Amino acid sequence: MIPMPSTHDILLCDLDAFFASVEQRDHPEYHGKPVIVGVRPDERGVVATCSYEARRYGIRSAMPMSRAVRLCPDAVFLPVDLARYRQVSAHVFAVYARFAAQIEPVSIDEAYIAVPPGKGVETAREIREEVRRELRRSFPPA
């Protein structure tokens, strides 16, 4: 079988620890601290996401909040601010649109993007740098 040339490279753009990263960006006092976003610590429910600092304690998305509290009682516990995360997500997706006409959103923080063949790695680097640059300066704290 003769391999067919690819018409596009497909990138998976995933904003890891998205909710926690937005909170840390908007609140410099949370930098370097374990941040857990989800239900209140005294409520029944799960962790929506957490920062890398919280992951060091074994905390993961979808973990019962009661367990997260036991693992890291001194974490910064924050409620989900979906309106804020949607605002930031829209800005990120606008950046993606500058690099590709074909974007398939998967969730608020994840999308597949079709770019010219052979340009995947280069485009991924450019997108990452542009998202970092723009989002550092574009959104004042909520």
Active site residues: 110
Q: 97 phi and psi, to 5 degrees?
A: -65, -20
> What is the spatial distance between Cα 33 and Cα 106, in angstroms, rounded to a whole number?
29
Nearest C-alpha neighbor of 75 from the set 58, 92, 62, 99: 58
Q: How many CA atoms lie within 13 A of 117 on its CB side?
A: 5
Distances (CA, A) of 7 to 4, 64, 98, 125, 127: 9, 44, 19, 20, 20
